[in-house]
């Protein structure tokens, strides 16, 4: 254990089982630890470093902004906020933006917006229907929204106003809808819940139901947005437009940020309804604008789609070779490999030894979410490490 790892144990609240690596530097798709060991990074800060580590355009935008203006209060106009909002609106189906600081905060604000809509247009309806196996964040309200008992148990009584129903089952949403329902909130692909793909027609059927009932559809694109699934936003693939969408993670290449986007009709906040000291911070927004502009100008989502398909095809070949791989699934560069037993952590450790970072999303499932700018040769490198690491998992033999 290194000095830094020992000190962490002394000073830090233990909320995560860390891996025994202290990362000190990153560039492109690679990071280095304190001993100089190099790793190919297929975690990317949990689907954050979409342009890789320390991308030049973002480093330059942030450096320039830090020299110019770091923070001011939201009582004043600032240029980077408006630039970010404009590029988001011009390239999505949404009309208005509220910038904030994280994914959880964006979702929390989206639910407030939906409740505000309920007060104004739905006789005070306030309930939000969400899915089992979802992940919407860690505040008390978002723990209640997140349909995973493991995140809820320690915090009972949960915040009221949320109903968790089965994912990919529109009938369950219909049954849960009452005259208190103001919105349905879903991920277009459940990332943290295990890379669970949305089934054909589900989102369109949910959209129809929301329209019939006059309630809002919130899409949490915190993990799927900004090119991750091969289109700029995942909703584009399903011919479904949300009334409210949330973003975070890759939006500013790693500078903390979140955003609520809404259609005009759902954009019902009035002055004083919501706010944030740091939300819309000039440095974060400059990073967000530089990231979005690069992604759009360089069709980074297209690269995620192409390289993602290549990666899935290569993982399928590994599945043919190793019978304990039971499933390979994903979209763009959000991909899972599932095993017949709980060996994901052992595979992760075997990869770590060999210089590849992967994520264990469930005891039997690995998740890959590399930078969206990776090349097929970097995928080949990851595949050859996996090919070498997988036979070392003795428990499957």
Catalytically active residues are 135, 220, 249
Name 163's Cβ contacts closer than 8 Å, sequence gap at least 6: 127, 128, 129, 130, 176
* In the complex, minimum distance from the CB of residue 362 to ligand PLP, in angstroms, rounded to a whole number: 14
Query: 216: closest CA among 188, 245, 175, 248?
Result: 245
Helix residue ranges per DSSP H, the chain = 3-11, 44-47, 56-68, 79-90, 103-121, 140-145, 149-152, 170-176, 202-213, 282-297, 300-321, 344-353, 376-389
> And the tokens for 192?
């943290």
CA distance 84 to 282: 10
Number of other CB atoms surrounding residue 345 within 10 Å: 14
Cα-Cα-Cα-Cα torsion 206, 212, 215, 221, nearest 10 degrees, comes to 30
Q: Which residue has the tokens 């975070």?
A: 248
Q: For the chain, how far is it from start to end, CA to CA, in angstroms? A: 32
* In the complex, minimum distance from the CB of residue 42 to ligand PLP, in angstroms, rounded to a whole number: 16
CB nearer ligand PLP, residue 170 or residue 189: 189
CB–CB of 235/263 below 8 Å? Answer: no
CA distance 252 to 386: 30
Query: 291: closest CA among 243, 238, 228?
Result: 228
CA distance 369 to 359: 8
The footprint of ligand PLP (CB under 6 A) covers 46, 102-104, 107, 135-137, 187, 191-192, 220, 222-223, 248
């Amino acid at each position: 254990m290194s000095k830094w790892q020992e000190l962490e144990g002394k000073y830090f609240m233990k909320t995560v089982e860390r891996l025994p690596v202290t990362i000190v530097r990153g560039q492109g798709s690679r990071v280095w630890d304190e001993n100089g060991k190099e790793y190919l990074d297929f975690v990317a800060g949990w689907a954050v470093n979409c342009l890789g580590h320390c991308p030049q355009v973002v480093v330059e935008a942030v450096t320039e902004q830090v020299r110019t203006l770091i923070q001011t209060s939201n009582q004043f106009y600032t240029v980077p906020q408006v630039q970010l909002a404009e590029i988001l609106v011009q390239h999505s189906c949404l009309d208005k933006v509220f910038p904030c600081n994280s994914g959880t905060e964006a979702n929390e604000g989206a639910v407030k917006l939906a409740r505000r809509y309920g007060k104004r247009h739905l006789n005070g309806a306030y309930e939000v229907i969400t899915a089992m196996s979802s992940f919407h964040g860690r505040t008390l309200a978002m723990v209640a929204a997140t349909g995973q008992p493991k995140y809820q148990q320690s915090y009972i009584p949960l915040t009221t106003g949320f109903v968790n129903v089965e994912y990919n089952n529109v009938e369950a949403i219909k049954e849960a809808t009452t005259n208190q329902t103001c919105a349905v909130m879903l991920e277009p692909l459940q990332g943290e819940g295990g890379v669970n793909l949305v089934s054909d027609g589900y989102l369109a059927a949910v959209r129809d139901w929301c329209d019939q009932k006059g309630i809002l559809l919130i899409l949490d694109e915190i993990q799927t947005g900004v090119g991750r699934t091969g289109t700029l936003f995942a909703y584009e693939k399903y011919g479904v437009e949300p009334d409210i969408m949330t973003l975070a993670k890759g939006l500013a290449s790693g500078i903390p940020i979140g955003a609520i986007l809404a259609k005009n009709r759902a954009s019902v906040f009035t002055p004083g309804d919501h706010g944030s000291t740091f939300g819309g911070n000039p440095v974060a927004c400059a990073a967000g604008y530089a990231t979005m502009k690069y992604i759009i100008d360089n069709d980074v989502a297209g690269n995620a789609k192409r390289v993602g398909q290549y990666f899935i095809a290569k993982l399928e070949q590994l599945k043919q070779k190793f019978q304990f791989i039971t499933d390979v699934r994903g979209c763009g560069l959000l991909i899972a490999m599932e095993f017949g037993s709980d060996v994901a952590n052992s595979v992760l450790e075997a990869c770590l030894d060999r210089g590849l970072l992967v994520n264990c999303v469930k005891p039997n499932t690995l998740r890959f979410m590399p930078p969206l700018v990776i090349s097929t040769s970097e995928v080949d490198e990851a595949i050859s490490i996996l090919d070498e690491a997988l036979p070392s998992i003795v428990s499957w033999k």
